[in-house]
Every structure is written in structure tokens, then in C-alpha cells.
Copies of this chain bind each other. A is one copy, B any other.
Amino acid sequence: MRIHYNAIAGQSVERLAALSDGLFAVAMTILVLDLKVPAAEAIHGEAALLDALTALAPRLLVYLMSFLTLGIFWVGQQTQLNHVARGDRYLTWIHLAFLFAVTLMPFSTSLMAEFVALRTALLVYWLNILALGVILYGSWRYAAGAGLVQEGLDETVHRAVRLRIIVAQVLYATGAALCALNTYCSIGFIIVVQLIYVVGPRRGVLARL
């Protein structure tokens, strides 16, 4: 009998998690390198420095937004992998595709920080979020279909995982569509959505999201 390489490759969920943690850690930290310290020659005194820092505020906001995005998707991936009993090469490659989208986040973020008023930049950013959501959704579908999730996992868990991604992506798409008005509306809407997901309200209508 012949064993094919594909049957033995990429089975370690632990190493996939470790690579993901490392990659998220680097992406989250690299984002901030875009916050450049003002050049010393241009700054004379406290007031000038305060002005220069205030001028950095929009970039800090964009950075915060991207950190939230990465945090949300890191939690999302973790939640999935916590319920996966074993991996295979296909699941591994789905997650590598997910990680590829993660590595593009610092670029999309810089782009939006640099061109905050242009729709093109906002749409690129949204496409990045969309890719993250679609791949994560696909990852769960595949893991469930291929019997890789933990035995006896309740259908309600499956439903909760799928529903969260779909609702979130509908909200992000709504936010992106708001750029028909202007890009600041989009950014504001997306940040509000993200803060709701971060805070995770326990009751009221927001708790249903």
C-alpha cells in the first residue's frame, strides 16, 4: 500500500495555532510602526510637539480600528480552533489563506490612514475584512464537513459560529456601503460595530448581534 504525502501533512492544530499567534502578534505590532514620531528638526518646544501629536490622532484612530479588527478575527479563529479536534492539510491551507489576509492588514491600514478621504482606500480595507470573514466561514464549513470538529459538538454551537460571521459581515458591508455618503461615515460605523463586538453587551438588542 502507498501512503500519499497529503494524507500525513499538516495535521497539527497546535502548530497551526502557534503560527497564527506569532503572525497575529507581528501584524498587530507592525501596524503601529506607521505611527511615525515627528522629526525633531520641525519641533521647537512643547506646544509644537503637542500640535504634532494631535495631528497624529486620525492615524491612531485608524490604527486602533485595525487592532480591533485583528483582535476580533484572532478571537474568531481561536474560538473555531478550540472546537477542532484534529487538523488535516486542507484545513491547514484554509487557515494559511486566512493568515495571508491577516498579513495584508497592515498594508490596507496604512493605505486607509494615508488616503482617509478616498473611497478606493476604504473599499480595499473592506475587501480585506471580507476576505477574512469569508475564509473563516469556509474554514468552519470545511472542518464540520470533514469531521474534524470535536465529537458531540452541539448544533447550536455550529449555528452560533456561522451566525456570528454572517451578521458581522453584513454590518461591515453596510459600513462600506456608507462610503457612498463619505468615507468618515463608513469608518465611524465600522468602529461602532467593532466596539459592540469588543464590549459584547450581555442584554438588550445589541446582545443579539
Q: Are A160 and B32 in contact (CB under 8 A)?
A: no
Please classify the interface of chain A as helix (H, G, I), strand (E, B), loop, or mixed, using the class held by over half of its residues.
Answer: helix
Given A103-B67, A114-B40: A3 and B78 interface contact (C-beta under 8 Å)? no
Q: Are B75 and A89 in contact (CB under 8 A)?
A: yes
Q: Are A121 and B49 in contact (CB under 8 A)?
A: yes
- In the complex, whether A184 has a CB less than 8 A from a CB of chain B is no
- Number of residues from A at the complex interface, CB < 8 A: 83
| Pick from B7, B24, B82, B89: contact of A19, CB under 8 Å | B24
CB distance from A51 to the nearest CB of B (A): 10
CB distance from A120 to the nearest CB of B (A): 5
Q: Are A75 and B22 in contact (CB under 8 A)?
A: no
Interface-centre pick from A45, A111, A119 (highest chain B CB count, 10 A): A111
| Pick from B25, B121, B157: contact of A22, CB under 8 Å | B25
Q: List 27 A-B contacts (CB under 8 A).
A: A2-B159, A3-B160, A5-B160, A5-B163, A9-B75, A10-B75, A10-B79, A12-B78, A12-B82, A15-B78, A17-B18, A18-B21, A19-B24, A21-B25, A22-B22, A26-B26, A32-B103, A35-B107, A37-B110, A37-B111, A38-B114, A46-B118, A53-B120, A64-B100, A67-B100, A74-B96, A75-B93
